Amino acid sequence: MLVDKIGVEPAGLPFNSRLAIEILAKRSVNPLVNAGAMASVSLVKASSENERWDLILGNLSDFAGAPLTMMEKVYQSEYSTAWGNRSIVNNL
């Protein structure tokens, strides 16, 4: 399942490209671009969005060796302009 959703090859397009997921076989995308990051997050098993967020934040905090927090102002800014990411999700 992982190999079906996540690839490793660069698309040669901007990190937020919607075209990249249309031209790549099986819509498998590099996890270091927006579409790949969203596909990766979709594979985290959780019963709710809150649980998924807690799992991701906990893992990243463990990797960092310190508790991480979300920067609310940055989150709100990104969320208010996330129409491009929403269209990527619809194409995955």
DSSP per-residue codes, 29-78: B-TTSHHHHHHHHHTS--SSHHHHHHHHHHHHHHHHTS-----HHHHHHH
> Length of the chain, please?
92
Domain count within the chain: 1
What is the chain's pLDDT, residue by residue, as a tens digit (92 residues)?
677 778 777 778 888 888 877 777 666 678 888 888 888 898 999 999 999 999 999 999 999 999 999 999 999 998 898 888 888 888 77
Q: Which domain holds residue 21?
A: 2-91
pTM of the model: 0.74
